[in-house]
Amino acid sequence: MTVIPHGLSNGGFVRDLTDTLCADAVPLDRIAAEVGTPAYVYNARAMRRAYRTLEAALAAMPVTVCYAVKANANLAVIRIFGELGAGADVVSVGEMRRALAAGIPAARIVFSGVGKTEAELAAAVEAGIGQVNVESTGELRRLSAVADAKQRTVDIAIRVNPDVDAGTLKEITTGTANDKFGIAIDRVPAVFELAARLPGLALRGVAVHIGSQIVDLQPYHNAYRRIADLVGRLRGDGHVIDHIDLGGGLAIPYDREPRVDAAAFAAVVRETLGSLGCHMTIEPGRYLVGSAGVLLARVVEWKEDLARPFLVLDAAMNDLMRPALYKAYHPIVAVRGDTGEVTAEVDVVGPICESTDVFARARALPHLKAGSLVAIGAAGAYGATLSSEYNSRPLVPEVLVDGDRVAVVRKRPSFEEMVGLERLPPWMEDSPAADRPPDPELPNAEFPNAELPNAERAAE
């Protein structure tokens, strides 16, 4: 049996007796046959497992888990956490509406983000969401005016920038003085003074989020210590602080790094903030969904025409941006295990016309033939949500596996759907090109199974 990297096994991707990689009980080759490739495949039970692990670790403290929707915004995924009692952390009206549409009660939604527009703030107040994490004095004034005009009061926390380096990739660090997020910690008392005087706001506490994929707990410790000191100071100034938002950032294994130990994280929270008597929220995204997803792709060819071999896939950087954007590592395995082929070191690439369209350099893989399937692991977070239609490649479908059940939870758009919002301007409508006969019926090679309503049949 071929060994599966930790980044995949952690999300419940296992090999069956024929050495085929499965999402829980469902072989991935069956999903590829039904839905086509590329496709995202998510494992619902692994998502629930991650949620319960975190919830259990934090159980002794008054903590609400608010799932960070940006990690994976599919309605079915949000619903999974809603069913478990989670709230949601959103950063746009679009995400807020997704959370509401998936059944998360408004009171359990926290609205974060550095540039909320007046229209977004108005929509949040209108929806009666639980808390707005305010990131600037400008936003504080805008929100106050919006709420006051509607004769409403909105619960707020001030997002604090603690100037702590999260020790993660510089692209996903958010809590240092160089980052655009929050309000510098030494300026927060003055902002509290202002907030306490403005109408329409109920000042509840503070929020902090220092970054993402945080492996080492020490930065959390440093940031939460500073928050505890700040809370003491603010209380000394006469403010009532009954809520602290801990942010997200808990790491998952991609390569050899460990999954952050939820119990050890809980111990940090208890030690630094546990005695303050505050209700807390935590905003994990990646930790809950990252391991539980793969990007399923097919080999177009093993290309031997250059100095070193390239494995060309039908998935590309537009489908999974993280390697191109952050040089992020993702495990890659053949769906059919021990193929008996000699392993070689190969650059794994997509078909896009950019040299950054690379999933991995010098990766050891069997010599895979055209048509073989591979799974790119740990792609459940910031995979589909960061994807685009670059090169006019349709967004890839998303498939949810729950035990032995399978459903397409986002279908692959047809060509017509992909261009459906585009219009020729009126002055081009009568130009000669418009007199051409319509395109002949083209084979739908680029859009395999675009019309497939769902993949229930795959489970039969």
Q: Which residue numbers are catalytic?
A: 353
Judged by beta carbon, residue 74 or residue 212, the one nearer ligand LLP is 212
**HSE (side-chain half, CA atoms, 13 Å) at 219:** 27
- Of 324, 331, 411, 343, nearest to 374 by C-alpha is 331
CA separation, residue 35 to residues 20, 109, 409, 455 (Å): 17, 33, 11, 7
Asked whether the beta carbons of 145 and 199 are under 8 A apart, the reply is no
Judged by beta carbon, residue 170 or residue 270, the one nearer ligand LLP is 170
Sign of CA dihedral 9, 12, 14, 20: negative
Closest approach, Cβ 12 to ligand LLP, in A, equals 19
Closest approach, Cβ 104 to ligand LLP, in A, equals 15
Token duo for residue 122: 């108005």
Judged by beta carbon, residue 8 or residue 71, the one nearer ligand LLP is 71
Strands laid side by side in the 26-27 sheet: 13-15, 21-23, 26-27
Q: Work out the angle at residue 89's Cα, subtended by the Cα atoms of residues 83 and 90, and round it to the nearest 5 degrees.
A: 115
CA separation, residue 375 to residues 6, 20, 31, 39, 141 (Å): 13, 11, 12, 10, 48
- Beta strand pairing status for 87-90 and 109-111? parallel
Sign of CA dihedral 291, 297, 299, 303: negative
Residue with tokens 């073989």: 372
Judged by beta carbon, residue 36 or residue 219, the one nearer ligand LLP is 219
Closest approach, Cβ 177 to ligand LLP, in A, equals 17
Asked whether the beta carbons of 27 and 33 are under 8 A apart, the reply is no
Closest approach, Cβ 247 to ligand LLP, in A, equals 5
Judged by beta carbon, residue 70 or residue 239, the one nearer ligand LLP is 70
First CA to last CA distance, the chain: 26
Judged by beta carbon, residue 152 or residue 327, the one nearer ligand LLP is 327
Report the interface residues with ligand LLP, using CB under 6 A: 68, 70-71, 89, 112, 172, 174, 209, 212-213, 247-250, 283-287, 322, 326, 381-382, 386
Cα–Cα distance measured from residue 59 to residue 313, given in angstroms and rounded to the nearest whole number: 44
Judged by beta carbon, residue 192 or residue 220, the one nearer ligand LLP is 220
Residues 6 or more apart in contact with residue 399 via CB below 8 angstroms: 31, 35, 39, 40, 41, 42, 406, 407, 408, 409, 455
